Amino acid sequence: ARLCGTGTALSVCNGTLALHLAMLGLDVRPGDEVLVPSLTYVATANAGRYVGAEPVFVDVDPTTWCIDPKLLEASITRRTKGIIAVHLYGHPADMDTINHIAAVHGLWVVEDAAEAHMARYKGRIVGSLAKIATFSFYGNKIITCGEGGAITVDDPQLAIRLKALRGQGMDPQRRYYFPITGYN
């Protein structure tokens, strides 16, 4: 959290689960649409599918290989809830433009920074450039421990929700009380 400049960082078992928890934390539901780049690992698209949403593939910029912000607006429908911007191969997506488009349309943005630990976008380290950021520590990543992942978030209420979802749904104020279905 300190490294990325956010209030909270949560450890999780892998980067795919980090993306799944992001979808749950943002209350993505069946029938919702999530914009994802057409060039990414399948986990990015699967994260929305895990909660019943439809991934909508948006082509990538041929220079950066990240989601092309110029093509986002044409993909937005009334069912679109958010955008997952993947910082592919360590190269950050155009977060200023993506965040602006999202704000205009009332959408959230998640950074998939699985391959971009310590990458900088306009002087800022990725991980605090969107509502939620996710990381992977799988063996082929920049920082690895064989498995593992992380979520960074600056919104205290969202952090509480993500912690509960990660911790089997246990209420943080009432030990061994599980008001929501969570994950391990």
Short-list 162, 103, 106, CA closest to 132: 162
Alpha-helical runs (H) found in the chain: 15-25, 42-50, 72-75, 95-105, 156-166
Task: Give this prediction's pTM.
Answer: 0.94
- Evaluate whether 38 touches 57 at the Cβ level (below 8 Å): yes
| Alpha carbons 73 and 104: distance in angstroms, whole number | 10
- Evaluate whether 12 touches 138 at the Cβ level (below 8 Å): no
Sign of CA dihedral 16, 17, 18, 19: positive
- What pLDDT is attached to residue 95? 98
| Tens-level pLDDT at each residue, the chain (184 residues) | 999 999 999 999 999 999 999 999 999 999 999 999 999 999 999 999 999 999 999 999 999 999 999 999 999 999 999 999 999 999 999 999 999 999 999 999 999 999 999 999 999 999 999 999 999 987 677 777 888 999 999 999 999 999 999 999 999 889 999 999 998 8
| Alpha carbons 132 and 32: distance in angstroms, whole number | 18
**Range list of β-strands (E), the chain:** 8-12, 33-37, 54-58, 80-86, 108-112, 120-121, 124-125, 132-136, 149-153
Short-list 53, 122, 73, 136, CA closest to 93: 122
3-class SS shares of the chain: helix, strand, coil, % to 5: 30, 25, 45
Residue 147 token pair: 């498995």
Question: Helices 156-166 and 15-25 meet at what angle, rounded to 10?
Answer: 120
